Chains A and B, each alone.
Chain A
Amino acid sequence: MNHLAVLPIVFLLSGAIFAVLAGTLNKDAPQIVAIVATAAAFITSILGLREVTQNGPISYELGGWPPPIGIEYVLDPLSAFMLIIVTFIGMLITIYPARIAFDHVVRKNVPVYPLTLLLLSGLTGVMSSGDLFHLFVFLEIFAIATYGLVSLGGDRGVFASFRYLLFGTVGSGLYLLGVGFLYFSTGTLNMADMAQILPDLAGSPTILGALGLITIGLALKMALFPLHIWLPDAHSFSPPGVAALLAAVQVKAGAYALLRILFDVFGPAYTGQAGLPVSQLLTWFGLAGIIYGSVLATRQADVKRLLAYSTVAQLGYIGVGIGIGSRLALIGAILHVLNHALMKSALFLVAGGIIQRTGLKEIARFAGLGKRMVPTMSGFAIAALSMVGIPPLAGFWSKFYLVWAAVDSSNWLVAVVIISSSMLTLVYFLRMFETIFVQEATEPVVANAKIASPTVIGTVWALCAAIIIVGVANVVVVRTIVGPIADGLIG
């Protein structure tokens, strides 16, 4: 029994408790506790990925009860890969200065770091659980932490948080109902055990109903078009650090659960020809989301709202990848989970840096910032070029694999939509480039802006370095990590 499967959650959950206690002693202590906890979780996740790629998946019996009776934690390459993304982004957000990550002013008595750690431990729990009901509990744990964090964004944040609470709870309710259908048909909740039983029940309407409910519930969590309505408000009104965390990793938990349950639990017997057309629907709605998100993003004046709509489009890519479901498409989707996490959190952190120095959110007023805040804005340039898909940056590769998969399966419409969405992305980022780098400063706050604080620059550059490394060394990443994950999901 290898403890690496639970150590990230143990670090994050106990960190949340210690951060509460530390907060009673000193105002700054919770942040230090959070940095230590996320760093420890990050290191153990890397060790976990090394362990599972060498020695195969780890099954951990929580409390000593063997599965399927007890709750099983499973660490396989996919979950270890997701854990690394979550803990890496989480670590950078905790390092990022608290004043801008969570609000203009740090409020007393608001336990932001315990909530952040709770959010991260919920996400890691979703990603390492091997039990369908346990996954539901973790879905709700991270959801509750999210509602609290979104509500930090002032009056609008509170309202966005309440709307999100309604949608999120209906989503997890539908998921729970689907799990109920599955439990009463198979008598088990363990994913591996259920995957053994389900093929014998092929064609059962109850199981198909469960598949439909679970897919809708998780698509709501993942904000797949047209179930994305809660996302733009929640992401644009929450403070920059929270928005980065939500866009980069929180919505990915839904994508992960969908990937895991569609491929590892149900399998082609239900999602293929004979079952529900889930794959086709995911592809179509993903495409619609890509177009909708990209078009709306070009029309936003507010930088965080633009990034939020762009998230809707980027989640469409992941939906399309899951929908096509071939090896190439899955590589594209999984790579895009990583790339989007790096790019979108970098962009939100840049937006936070701009707010820190100028208080501006409207793109039109950013004129001349490129000459004033050179380190932050060069980070913005790298992340934005990667979003557009300029090789050799990371963002190019996930689109490349998705287009390749589309051509490979003669899905020409997918290829056309992905390429034209890249053009739209180019449109809105070129407009920002022109404003930021070419125009002269008009606002006095811009003309007097100092470069951002070292922790802002450090975290943005760490993300940009990751974007460049993942881009340049993409062949290695795909061959050693993402390729085997996709093989594992299909095989």
Chain B
Amino acid sequence: MIDLFLDRYIYLFVLTLLAIGLYGVMAKTDLMKKLIGLTIFSTAIFLFFIEGSVKTDATLPIIDARGSNPALYVDPIPHLLILTAIVVGVGILGVGLALLVRIYQAHGTFDEAIIVEHMNTEDPYGTPHYPGGHT
């Protein structure tokens, strides 16, 4: 039992982070906290990939004097994938923050309930965007 835990504890860690992130996205009413939850969620996935590439007694994936036995080197592909995924994640985070700036300018708050109520009762830009708007 304890061996299993020691072998797999990193997965528990990843799972906990995933759960925290998802909880943040689903349960928090503050939009900024939702975005933070989303970032935690993606980071957990990144960690999962990086952890999966690790091998015992292996080193950087650059072939040296020890020959080309793949067991001697860490799997480079997950690192590559996650490098790409991090770049994508930064893009998403940037767009999310830009949208939050616009939302904050219009409503002066990040509280989802207040914003929804704002939008249902009055339009902060004066006239509704489309006549006959939201029902």
Question: Which of A's residues lie within 8 Å of B, judged by CB?
Answer: 104, 133, 136-137, 140, 143-144, 147-148, 151, 153-159, 161-162, 165-166, 169-170, 173, 176-177, 180, 183-184, 189, 237, 300-302, 305, 355, 359-362, 365
Contact = CB atoms under 8 A, between A and B. Distances in A.
Given A155-B119, A180-B48, A183-B78, A360 B131 contact: yes
B132 A133 contact: no
Given A151-B102, A153-B129, A154-B129, A173 B45 contact: yes
Closest 10 CB pairs of A and B: A154-B129, A362-B132, A162-B99, A361-B132, A140-B88, A184-B52, A158-B102, A361-B130, A155-B106, A359-B131
A155 B41 contact: no
B134 A302 contact: yes
Contacts of B96: 147, 162, 165-166
Contacts of A165: 92, 95-96, 99
B84 interface: yes
B91 interface: yes
Interface string B8-41: 0000000000100010010000010011001001
A305 B130 CA distance: 12
Contacts of A301: 132, 135
Measured as residues with beta carbon below 8 angstroms from the partner, the interface class of chain B is 35 or more
Nearest to B118: A155
B58 interface: no
Contacts of B84: 133, 137
Given A165-B99, A166-B38, A170-B22, A159 B119 contact: yes
Contacts of A155: 106, 119, 123-125, 129
Interface of B: 18, 22, 25, 31, 34-35, 38, 41-42, 45, 48-49, 52, 77-78, 81, 84-85, 88, 91-92, 95-96, 99-100, 102-103, 106, 115, 119, 123-125, 129-135
Given A140-B91, A140-B92, A365-B132, A177 B34 contact: no
Interface of chain A, main secondary structure: helix
A151 B119 contact: no
Contacts of B41: 169-170, 173
B130 to A, nearest CB: 5
Nearest to A162: B99
A159 B115 CA distance: 9
Given A147-B96, A362-B132, 15 more contacts: A133-B84, A136-B85, A137-B84, A137-B88, A156-B119, A156-B134, A157-B129, A162-B99, A166-B35, A170-B38, A176-B45, A177-B45, A302-B132, A302-B134, A365-B132
A257 to B, nearest CB: 16
Contacts of B81: 133, 183
A136 B84 CA distance: 10
A443 to B, nearest CB: 10
A305 B135 contact: yes
Given A157-B129, A359-B131, A169 B42 contact: yes
A302 B41 CA distance: 36
A133 B78 CA distance: 10
B28 to A, nearest CB: 11
A169 B38 contact: yes
Contacts of B123: 155
Contact of B100 (A162, A355, A362): A162
Nearest to A304: B130
B99 A158 contact: yes
Nearest to A362: B132
20 contacts: A137-B88, A143-B92, A144-B91, A147-B95, A153-B129, A155-B123, A162-B103, A166-B35, A166-B38, A166-B96, A169-B41, A173-B42, A176-B45, A176-B85, A180-B48, A183-B52, A183-B78, A302-B134, A359-B131, A360-B132
